[in-house]
Every structure is written in structure tokens, then in C-alpha cells.
Amino acid sequence: MSGSESYTLHYWPSIPGRGEYIRLAFEAAGQPFEENNKVESLVDHIMTDTVVGHPPHFAPPLLEIRRKESGREPSGGASAERFYLSQTPAILAYLAPKLGLTGLPADEVQGTEGDLKLAQLNQLTLTALDLSNEAHDTHHPVAVGAYYEEQKDEALRRAEDFRKNRVPKFLRYFETVIRSNGRGDGKRLIGPSLSVADLVLFQVLDGLSFAYPRLMASLERKGDYGGVFGLKRHVGGWDKVKGYVESGRRRKFSNGLYRHYPELDAEA
């Protein structure tokens, strides 16, 4: 755990979105965190100017990190330094070792090959987030700022390619990752323990099952991706994740990153 830091996640209200990848990491690690969902403070201040210091931020999620400056204040007053970090993959790579979510034993992370292993974890997180981005682009293939209804024809074409080519390619890849991880017991992307990459893949798969229920059910029935769907069940059944899901705190999928438009869905 990270006793010397405290965290506030700044993100849009209601939707899980990209903020959920960060929330899941905190929840799975049992790390307390606060959340600010006031949209106006996000857009008008934190994201567009330099109130938060350098560098400013392009888009949420935004993580506020407060560090206690121990030993620096002879007066004994515990002041805190405040930093801000955006970009989901950058936030997850930063948090993984602090939350014990690298998938790897601590001595391996701290050893001479630690930087390489963390880079490989980062690689896996990034690839799972690429699938998340492509899922979003199926309902917004032309303009992120326009309505779905204004780009429905394009969405139909993009979703077809997504179902036929992209999702199978990603699942095939992650299946190979899981099967070739000699220490993961068929349940982890990297190393023997739960990692941020596992959590992201869990959330992506769950989002896809919401958005594309017919596609995902037919892919699961085919049996070619036993490792992938096994990882999803395993992460979902993992104590703290299960507790989080059952608590009602987890935001429901609706009209965000993952959207269910029946006309975009079909069996594989």
C-alpha cells in the first residue's frame, strides 16, 4: 500500500468511462481514495489552464496526488505537496508498483530487471486500453463531439469490422499472453499475481459484454478463448473486486465508452 500518498480522482459523474480503470485499481488494492465529479471544475479549471501547475491536462481522468513531506518541516506541521497526473496508461503505470498491482513479486520489481518488467506490464495495459478505445470508436467513428445518430451509417460499418476482425484479433492475442504466462495459472496476463493489466482487461471484457452481448456470448461459446473468459471470471470473483461490484459503488455501463446499440451487435 501507499501510506505516504493520498489520492483524489477527478472524473465525470455517473459513467464508468476511463475513470473506472483507475477506480478498479484502488478498489482491488484496498486503497482509499476520494473522488471529485464536478464537471465544471474539471473543464474550466483543471484541464484547460495551469491552475494545477505544469503540465496542464488534455482530458480526464485526472489523478491528484498528495505527498506528505515528512522530515522537511522542523516545526512539525505536516504540509502536503500536490501533483496532478492525467492519461489513463500513465496513471496506471504510476500506481501499479505503489498499489502492489504489478503482477510480480516485489523483489523482481525492485531488481535489475525491474524496469523491463514494469515496461512489459505497461505494454499489456496499453494494448488492453487500445481495445477500449476501439470499442468507443465503433459508436463514434467520425466525430467524438457529435451524436451517435449523426454517424450511425459509419458506425454500422465500423462495428462490423470490429466484430469480425478487431475483437477476435485482440482476444487471440490475450489468449496467447495468458497461456504463455508460465506463472499465471491461466488466470493472469503477467506474473503470478493480480495486475493493473488484468483489471483493465476485466473491465474491457465486461464493457464489451454490455455493448455487444450477442458477439461476446457467441465468442465465449466457441471455446477458443478459454483463458480470456477465465481471466474475466477470476478477476470478477476476486475478493475485493467482488466486494466492490456487490457494494453498488461501481458505476453501471450506460451511455459512455461502452454503449449497447442492438443494431451494432451480432453473433461472431
Among 41, 165, 254, 255, binds a second copy (CB under 8 A): 165
7 touches a second copy by CB under 8 A: no
158 touches a second copy by CB under 8 A: yes
- Neighbouring C-alpha atoms within 13 Å toward the C-beta of 212: 26
Stretch that binds a second copy, among 55-63, 205-213, 239-247, 253-261 (CB under 8 A): 55-63
Give whichever of 198 and 253 is closer to a second copy, judged by the CB atom: 198
141 touches a second copy by CB under 8 A: yes
6 touches a second copy by CB under 8 A: no
Among 37, 151, 193, 218, binds a second copy (CB under 8 A): 151
Among 34, 44, 73, 115, binds a second copy (CB under 8 A): 115
124 touches a second copy by CB under 8 A: yes
CB 97 within 8 A of CB 118: yes
Min dist. Cβ of residue 147 to a second copy (A): 13
Size of site (CB under 8 A) for a second copy: 53
Min dist. Cβ of residue 214 to a second copy (A): 20
Cis peptide before 61 (omega within 30 of 0): yes
Q: What secondary structure does DSSP assign to 132-178, as a single string?
A: HHHHHHHH-SS-TTS-GGGGHHHHHHHHHHIIIIIHHHHHHHHHHHH
Stretch that binds a second copy, among 8-16, 50-58, 221-229, 235-243 (CB under 8 A): 50-58
Among 93, 194, 201, 241, binds a second copy (CB under 8 A): 93
| C-alpha to C-alpha distance for 9 and 64, rounded to whole angstroms | 6
266 touches a second copy by CB under 8 A: no
Give whichever of 147 and 243 is closer to a second copy, judged by the CB atom: 147
74 touches a second copy by CB under 8 A: no
Phi and psi at residue 80, in whole multiples of 5°? Answer: -125, 140
244 touches a second copy by CB under 8 A: no
Phi and psi at residue 4, in whole multiples of 5°? Answer: -95, -5
Query: Where do contacts with a second copy occur on this chain (CB under 8 A)?
Result: 48-50, 54-58, 65, 83, 85-87, 89-91, 93-94, 113, 115-116, 119-120, 122-124, 126-127, 130, 133, 137, 141-146, 151, 154, 157-158, 161, 165-166, 170, 173, 176-177, 180-182, 189-190
